[in-house]
């Protein structure tokens, strides 16, 4: 069936940070403007999920619930079908979110003062997971190569060899750079981490959001050794826009690592559970909504092409990084010669463009903008028109 990717529901007064941020800048509810910042979708929920939730509310008591065997099996079947990874149901640990999970992993497997590696610029909560817990940030900057980024493996290996380095939080696919790491790149990461006793926490929340011509490799699928030295963090929240249902699927193949994770989790949350509706929505999405996802990816790819074409024609000074995965377009605005704070002001106050500012992803992100493409195409077109009008007086 053909799904609806043209309708939005405005989220003023619903607790949405990005919609409230627009309101703080004076955008009124009656204006037909949407935000392009925080990574959730401005698209209607798949109807199969909505119907399943309605039926659950009509038919069942919303009491305490643990993950069902059916939910676990659906998570594993999805990984095997979409990513050719044969995960086991007993590997799944409950978590409200992937961010919760990598915070838990840092505290469960490392000690204050230990080094945790990040490949920067990177998703900003990862910095907090390291620095706010008293760990040491081991910064492995990515290297810009034309319209993409590469890993400096000499630098990566040198830092992994430091005896204080205990963990890598791997962003795969990478947010905000948009990279889908190749199997060869991941294999090299695995070899270095195994040789130096570095545990890999692989955040794969964007694993299903892959652009045409690219393929995601699950870190644990590299080898049995890699599988036993990692956590794989997944969720339906980005893929199907279900973040508000607070359900993530944390795969920990190694029994000892899994026991330590649950042991630590119970020290801070004696009865760890997720949302009963979240379990159902996740299972429904994985069992019945693959066609919705495939059509959604077509919308995101069309939006990507629209922005790239516009920038080439109207603002060639803005360099758009190649989007291989995620629905988050990483754009280098430094060629405009405008200070990054002034860019933020112009975008928010004059162009009414609400992006995630690049500087929140680290020093390397200054002068960049991250554009969330998961929305109806007409809003992208209207945003580009506002941009062209606003920047006329700033760009020759």
* Residue range 321-330, pLDDT digits in tens: 999 999 999 9
Average pLDDT, the chain: 96
Strand partners, 137: 116
**Sign, CA torsion 349/148/310/332:** positive
* Residue range 138-152, pLDDT digits in tens: 999 999 999 999 999
Distance CA 166, CA 133 (A): 14
Distance CA 239, CA 205 (A): 8
Beta strand segments in the chain, E? 92-95, 115-118, 136-139, 143-145, 148-150, 165-171, 199-203, 230-234, 248-251, 319-320, 328-332, 356-357, 368-372
State the pTM of this model: 0.97
Phi/psi at 275 (nearest 5 deg)?
A: -85, 130
| pLDDT by 10s per residue, the chain, length 396 | 899 999 999 999 999 999 999 999 999 999 999 999 999 999 999 999 999 999 999 999 888 888 999 999 999 999 999 999 999 999 999 899 999 999 999 999 999 999 999 999 999 999 999 999 999 999 999 999 999 999 999 999 999 999 999 999 999 999 999 999 999 999 999 999 999 999 999 999 999 999 999 999 999 999 999 999 999 999 999 999 999 999 999 999 999 999 999 999 888 777 777 889 999 999 999 999 999 999 999 999 999 999 999 999 999 999 999 999 999 999 999 999 999 999 999 999 999 999 999 999 999 999 999 999 999 999 999 999 999 999 999 987
Please choose, from the candidates 247, 242, 259, the residue with its C-alpha nearest in 3D space to the C-alpha of residue 293. Answer: 242
Beta strand segments in 174-311, E? 199-203, 230-234, 248-251
Q: Tell me the domains of the chain and their CATH numbers.
A: 17-47+290-391 (3.90.1150.10), 64-288 (3.40.640.10)
Question: How many residues make up the chain in this entry?
Answer: 396
Helix/strand/coil percent split, the chain, to 5: 45, 15, 40
What's CA 158's distance to the chain center, in Å?
A: 28
Distance CA 380, CA 385 (A): 9
Q: Which long-range contacts (CB under 8 A, 24 or more apart) does 2-6 make?
A: 2/295, 3/44, 3/46, 3/47, 3/291, 3/292, 3/295, 3/296, 4/44, 5/43, 5/44, 5/295, 5/296, 5/299, 5/376, 6/376, 6/378
CA geometry: angle at 83 spanning 78 and 87, to 5°?
Answer: 60
Decide: 240 and 278 in contact? Cβ < 8 Å.
Answer: no
Q: In percent, how much of the chain has pLDDT > 70? A: 99
């Amino acid at each position: 069936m053909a799904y609806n990717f043209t309708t939005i529901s405005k989220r003023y007064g619903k607790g949405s940070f990005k919609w409230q941020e627009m309101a703080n800048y004076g955008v009124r509810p009656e204006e037909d403007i949407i935000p392009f910042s925080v990574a959730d979708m401005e698209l209607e929920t798949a109807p199969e999920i909505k119907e399943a939730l309605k039926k659950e509310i009509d038919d069942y008591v919303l009491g305490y619930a643990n993950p069902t065997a059916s939910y676990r099996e659906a998570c594993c079947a999805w990984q095997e079908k979409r990513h050719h990874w044969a995960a086991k149901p007993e590997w799944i640990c409950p978590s409200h979110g992937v961010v919760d999970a990598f915070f838990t992993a840092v505290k469960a497997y490392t000690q204050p003062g230990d080094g945790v590696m990040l490949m920067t610029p990177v998703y900003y909560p990862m910095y907090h997971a390291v620095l706010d817990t008293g760990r040491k940030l081991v910064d492995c900057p990515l290297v810009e190569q034309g319209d993409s980024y590469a890993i400096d493996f000499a630098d990566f290996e040198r830092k992994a060899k430091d005896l204080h380095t205990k963990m890598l939080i791997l962003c795969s696919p990478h947010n905000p750079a948009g990279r889908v790491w190749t199997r060869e790149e991941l294999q090299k990461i695995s070899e270095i981490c195994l040789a130096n006793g570095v545990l890999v926490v692989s955040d794969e929340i964007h694993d299903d959001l892959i652009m045409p011509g690219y393929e995601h490799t699950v870190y644990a699928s590299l080898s049995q050794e890699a599988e036993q030295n990692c956590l794989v963090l997944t969720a339906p929240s980005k893929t199907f826009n279900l973040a508000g249902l607070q359900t993530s699927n944390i795969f920990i193949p190694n029994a000892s690592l899994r026991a330590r994770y649950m042991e630590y989790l119970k020290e801070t949350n004696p009865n760890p559970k997720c949302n009963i509706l979240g379990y159902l929505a996740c299972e429904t999405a994985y069992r019945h909504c693959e066609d919705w996802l495939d059509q959604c990816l077509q919308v995101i790819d069309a939006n990507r092409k629209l922005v790239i074409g516009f920038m080439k024609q109207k603002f060639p000074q803005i360099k758009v990084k190649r989007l291989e995965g995620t629905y988050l377009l990483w754009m280098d605005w430094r060629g405009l010669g405008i200070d990054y704070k002034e860019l933020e002001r112009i975008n928010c106050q004059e162009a009414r463009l609400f992006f995630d500012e690049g500087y929140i992803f680290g020093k390397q992100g200054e002068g960049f903008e991250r554009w969330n493409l998961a929305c109806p195409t007409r809003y992208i077109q209207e945003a580009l028109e506002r941009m062209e009008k606003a920047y006329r007086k700033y760009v020759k």
